[in-house]
Amino acid sequence: MERLFISDLHLSEAAPDLFLAFQNFLQNNCSNIDELYILGDLVDAWMGDDDDSAFAQKLSSTLKHIVDNGCSLFLMQGNRDFLLGETFAQAIGATLLPDAHVLMLAGERALLMHGDSLCIDDTEYQQFRAHIRSEEWQQNLLAQPLDQRRALARELRDMSQAANQVKADDIMDVNEAEVERIMAQHEASVLIHGHTHRPARHPMTERKERIVLGDWCIDRPVWVCRADDNTIEFLHLPLLTG
């Protein structure tokens, strides 16, 4: 069993080169693997599974293609695509995972997360996260026309970027005590997550480790995780548009 883990692609209609690099990445790295896990922020904004844009259709067909060719696909909601739902997942043949999912990797109990819930020092963001993750807020939002939802997505993105510019870097990173707590809760020896855009492989006490996946940018390779029955690798893979 060979698995590949990626996160924080932030694909969008405004970045066609990045989407092409994603398609090439799938072709070059996923044709011979059993399972692909995308741990949140697949897209820069997702305002409902009823999105009928050309970009959403291209994304659906691209992902469905790898599923149809024998690679099982697992998706997790991130802070940018928290409205990505079962309707989209079922349409492309993927499985939507909860934001804390455990599986066995190379004999280790591994916990998969997007990672934003671990940044508890950023209390302002955690309050906002709780608000937009509430069922009532999401139902009210999804009842609005798509154009209004897209406008709100742009507004939320601008607000997030402005807020992050004045926050200390350590506030926007994970809280180590929270990492220890959540790993103990799930009896995990490995944690794999994204969100922070700070790719690294962090050794921990008691032979545990935390692996942070990289965000995607067209002008540099991306850090991903690959695991088989014996090893867990942290790899620096190129993004190609040609």
- The superfamily in CATH containing domain 3-116+188-237 is Metallo-dependent phosphatases (3.60.21.10)
pLDDT, tens only, 205-235: 989 999 999 999 999 999 999 999 999 999 9
Contact 64, 37 (CB under 8 A): no
pLDDT, tens only, 56-100: 999 999 999 999 999 999 999 999 999 999 999 999 999 999 999
How far apart are the C-alpha atoms of 131 and 79, rounded to whole Å?
12
Q: Is the pLDDT of residue 194 over 70?
A: yes
Cβ-based neighbour number of residue 102 at 10 Å: 13
Residue ranges per domain, the chain? Answer: 3-116+188-237
Amino acid letter, 159: M
- The reported pLDDT for the residue numbered 20 is 97
To which residue do tokens 């004999």 refer? 107
Q: Is the pLDDT of residue 2 over 80?
A: yes
Closest residue by Cα to residue 7 from 200, 210, 220, 216 = 216
pLDDT grade for 167, boundaries at 50, 70 and 90: low
- The reported pLDDT for the residue numbered 166 is 52
pTM: 0.95
- The reported pLDDT for the residue numbered 152 is 84
Q: Is the pLDDT of residue 158 over 90?
A: no
Contact 147, 155 (CB under 8 A): no
